[in-house]
Amino acid sequence: MNVNQSSIVAGAVAAVAMAGTATAAFQGFGFNVVNQGDQGFTYRLYATMEMGDRLDAVAGNSSQSLSLKATDGFYHNSNGGPTSKDINSNFFSFVPSLEWDTYVTVGALYQDGSPFGENALNNVGIDWSTFEAGGDLETDNGTWFVTPDKSQGEAIDHGGDIGYGVLIAQVTTSRRGGTFSGLLQGKDANGDTWQVSLNGGEYSAPAPGALALLGLAGLAGRRRRRV
């Protein structure tokens, strides 16, 4: 069953510690639920920021490890891979479950760069084997990134509670979700570099009762607007 992105949107601002050169560009960590199906709940994770800002790299080092964790393990499709460059959206009609694969990115959803014109994602120093087997992704010496001249790093409006931000991962797991930590770096609208160390950004889906209440609230809102 597809879950309308605007109907259950959950935003979470993680505790952040500023590192290196930091500005007000980074606003927090956010997520929404875009699907509920046989594979589980599919979440999209974002670095939220202001219009005109951008994200260039998601990294881990000896001071701030990079980790993407799921309480009950990740779903991975055998036709996909660990990054958005491995997700060929032309295959969705043949393998519908591929659309809900778990992968990391900067901005672009798929191999074709959607919603941008290209996908120039790179990665260095990350061992994907445990992650691709359904386990957690962890490194203290690796990164996925785009160069500052690539448009896919630019913050765009994702609507709802997310607003402006850059997609950093899509993950499919259970309702209980998981956590994200890492070193984020980009540039603000003035071209100045910002860098943030983010620890313990949590994502999870509302309980069934909460989903029902959200649906009723949305229905009540629509009814009020008709009056």
Closest CA to 201 of 40, 43, 85, 35: 43
Torsion angles phi and psi, residue 101, rounded to 5? -60, 160
Res 41: pLDDT: 98
The rounded mean pLDDT for the chain is 86
Judged against a pLDDT cut of 80, whether residue 45 lies above it is answered with: yes
Neighbouring residues of 155: CB distance < 8 A, sequence distance ≥ 6: 49, 50, 51, 52, 53, 54, 55, 164, 165, 166
DSSP 17: E
pLDDT band at 215 (very low <50, low <70, confident <90, very high): very low
What count of residues does the chain have?
227
Containing 154, the helix (H) or strand (E) segment is none
Res 220: pLDDT: 40
Work out the angle at residue 93's Cα, subtended by the Cα atoms of residues 36 and 98, and round it to the nearest 5 degrees: 50
pLDDT in tens, 62-112: 999 999 999 999 999 999 999 999 999 999 999 999 999 999 999 999 999
User: Cβ(10)–Cβ(28) under 8 Å?
Assistant: no
Task: Give the position of tokens 């160069």.
Answer: 147
158-178 average pLDDT score: 96
CA distance linking residue 147 with residue 141, whole number of Å: 18
Res 221: pLDDT: 41
Judged against a pLDDT cut of 80, whether residue 216 lies above it is answered with: no
Judged against a pLDDT cut of 50, whether residue 227 lies above it is answered with: no
Neighbouring residues of 91: CB distance < 8 A, sequence distance ≥ 6: 79, 98
pLDDT in tens, 118-146: 999 999 999 999 999 999 999 999 999 99
